[in-house]
């Protein structure tokens, strides 16, 4: 396989998006995150806000609740349509050549069609809460509750559409604690692993 891809899954507030973008820059690869949302907006006509939220998060923190949420009498939802288009766009982007893809179940979608390095980024709650306040200006009364809610909804989305459990280490090649290692070290390790896995093979 020539389409050698890094997928970055991450806990909210762990710095995974920054790590993904910086790793892509280090390796000279395109990084698909906001760019992916733009492509999905063009393909579906849905709003950027809807795609950003419902292309990676369930409406509820339980996959079972999500199974019955916002569906018509035939069990169909707009989120299902978005999943189908998102899956196709991710397959097309990966088919164009090596890249970094942020979240959106790319690790699952590409498991049969690309040679992937699947990464999971996590950190302890205190550091994640501090990060979203300092970096993103989140002003919730409880940033911890905000993070817990987003992680639950991300896990529910992942389980509903993949049948797998989000964040389980066996689903990834490597899991990195960004709060302990730091952003720079995570970028360096992923870049080295990519070079070792693909460039030396």
Q: What are phi and psi of 4, to 5 degrees?
A: -100, 115
DSSP type of residue 96: T
The pLDDT value recorded for residue 10 is: 96
pLDDT digit string (tens) for 34-63? 888 999 999 899 999 989 888 888 876 554
Sign of the four-CA dihedral 106, 27, 52, 89: negative
- List the single range of 6-10, 22-26, 168-172 with lowest mean pLDDT: 168-172
Q: What is the pLDDT of residues 124-172, one digit of tens each?
A: 999 999 999 988 777 777 899 999 999 999 999 999 999 999 999 999 9
Domains of the chain with CATH codes: 4-199 (3.40.50.300)
Instruction: Yes or no: say if 22 and 16 are a contact pair by the CB < 8 Å rule.
Output: no
What pLDDT is recorded for position 200? 56
For the chain, count helices (H), then strands (E). Answer: 10, 5
């Amino acid at each position: 396989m020539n389409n050698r891809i890094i997928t970055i899954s991450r806990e909210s507030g762990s710095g995974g998006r920054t790590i993904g973008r910086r790793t892509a820059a280090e390796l000279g690869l395109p990084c698909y995150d906001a760019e992916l949302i733009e492509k999905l907006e063009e393909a579906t006509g849905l709003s950027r806000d809807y795609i950003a939220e419902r292309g990676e998060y369930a409406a509820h923190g339980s996959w079972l609740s999500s199974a019955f949420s916002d569906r018509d009498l035939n069990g169909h939802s707009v989120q299902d349509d978005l999943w189908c288009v998102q899956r196709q766009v991710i397959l097309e982007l990966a088919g164009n050549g090596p890249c970094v893809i942020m979240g959106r179940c790319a690790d699952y979608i590409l498991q049969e069609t690309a040679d992937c390095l699947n990464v999971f980024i996590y950190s302890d709650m205190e550091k994640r809460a501090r990060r979203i306040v300092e970096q993103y200006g989140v002003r919730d009364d409880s940033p911890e509750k905000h993070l817990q809610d987003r992680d639950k909804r991300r896990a529910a989305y992942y389980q509903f559409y993949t049948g797998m459990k989000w964040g389980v280490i066996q689903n990834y090649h490597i899991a990195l604690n960004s709060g302990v290692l730091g952003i720079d070290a995570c970028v360096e390790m992923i870049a080295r692993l990519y070079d070792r896995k693909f460039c030396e093979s």
